[in-house]
Amino acid sequence: MSRVRVESFTISADGFGAGPNQDIDHPLGERGESLHGWAIATRTFQRHLFGSDSGESGVDDEFAARGFSNVGAWILGRNMFGPVRGPWPDESWRGWWGENPVYRAPVFVLTHHARAPLVMEGGTTFHFVTEGPDAALARARDAARGKDVRVGGGVHAIQQYLRSRLIDEMHIAISPVVLGAGERLFEGVNLPALGYACTQHVATSRATHLVFSRT
């Protein structure tokens, strides 16, 4: 069976996975973009985000690259798709990433409000799932066709799958910035009680990488 993974999810030194006051101008909350300096600098992210052959190799790039390896489907919380709240007023919002998103695979968006699938360039199709996290995971596994399912975030989506012990492996990058407020990834989450242990850790000049595995 395919594994369920979190990859390259970055938190601040004080534990926040997003800053406060998320909106269309601050998709990761105020100062949230500062979390991802380690990732943006890598060759992998330069290629996936900008189609560039520039960027750094090394440990950070190795962690970034593993996040796209053997991924057949994604799951996102609604905030990761866009800033629209409540019922969809129309279908004009098509995501943060333009017409050719980085996912290049089926993406299942957790939401309380139905919307028709959104087909994008590059192999990405957004499916809007109103039946809850378990239904989204079942559909993602089926779409992945034996490959892994990546839970891309945000904080609340990851917490739901962690608390249900459905995540098999989780890579967290700790960025040396402080946000002071926002959404704490491990708020109310007892990793040892849920059966998770840190099985790998390595630090670079830009981030500290931790891998948690379900025991």
Residue 90 domain-assigned (yes or no): no
Q: Which domain holds residue 46?
A: 4-83+99-205
Confidence of residue 182 (pLDDT cuts 50, 70, 90): very high
Is it the case that residue 104 has pLDDT exceeding 80? Answer: yes
Residue 92 domain-assigned (yes or no): no
CA distance 193 to 173: 22
Residue 213 domain-assigned (yes or no): no
The total of structural domains in the chain comes to 1
Residue 212 domain-assigned (yes or no): no
State the angle between helix axes of 155-163 and 133-144 in degrees (0 to 180), rounded to the nearest 10: 90
Residue 181 domain-assigned (yes or no): yes
Confidence of residue 207 (pLDDT cuts 50, 70, 90): very high
| Dihedral angle computed from the Cα positions of residues 103, 54, 43 and 145, in that order, rounded to the nearest 10 degrees | 30
Specify the CATH number for the domain of residue 171.
Answer: 3.40.430.10
pTM of structure: 0.94
Residue 215 domain-assigned (yes or no): no
